[in-house]
Amino acid sequence: MAEQDLTVVQLLLIEYQSIKDEQKARIGFRDNLLYVTLTVVAAVVAAAATTKQTAVLLALPPVCVVLGWTYLVNDEKITAIGRYIRNDLGPRLAQLIHAEKTFGWEFANQADPSRRYRKMVQCMVDLLAFCAVPLSALVVYWGGGQTVPGLLVLSVSEALAVAGLGAFIVRFWRTQPRAS
């Protein structure tokens, strides 16, 4: 291996470490969004119960959509980083060091037979946390007998936003690679 090749290898390893650090940070941030969502849901439900005003529940859909979208975007970036390592960075490094494959975990994780099932369950959890909960809040508002025309229009637009998020969650799950 030439001296110049060693420098390229070092740069690729630095890039690998850098994007793995980004991936790790995004995973932590993404996972915490579920806890934040649960906390917000509990606070809003408590406020609605305390005040006996079902209109308070209208705060849940926009918050869940924003948190859900942020969760989904981070999840997509986490996936994109893994795909980049498997399909671009790893093969370039393997070629330079004359190895068959590098970063074996990136491939082993994708090939895990239960991965598809776990991803499906995670999709259901995401739909429950970010879509079913705010839609339930809207149903309670609509059935609570305290609807007013302006808030009713707002609640319908919130329902559409939640449904749109749900469609993106399912679409992202369905377009996930099965294994690389």
pLDDT at 178 over 60: no
- Is 179 inside any structural domain? no
pLDDT at 154: 97
The pLDDT of 65-77, averaged and rounded, is 97
Its domain, for residue 166, covers: 3-174
- Global pTM reads 0.88
pLDDT band at 102 (very low <50, low <70, confident <90, very high): very high
Count of residues making up the chain: 180
Average pLDDT of the residues in 147-160: 96
Q: Does 15 reside within a domain? A: yes
What span, in angstroms and rounded, lies between the C-alpha atoms of 3 and 21? 27
E strands, 49-142, in order: none
Q: Flag whether 154 is in a domain.
A: yes
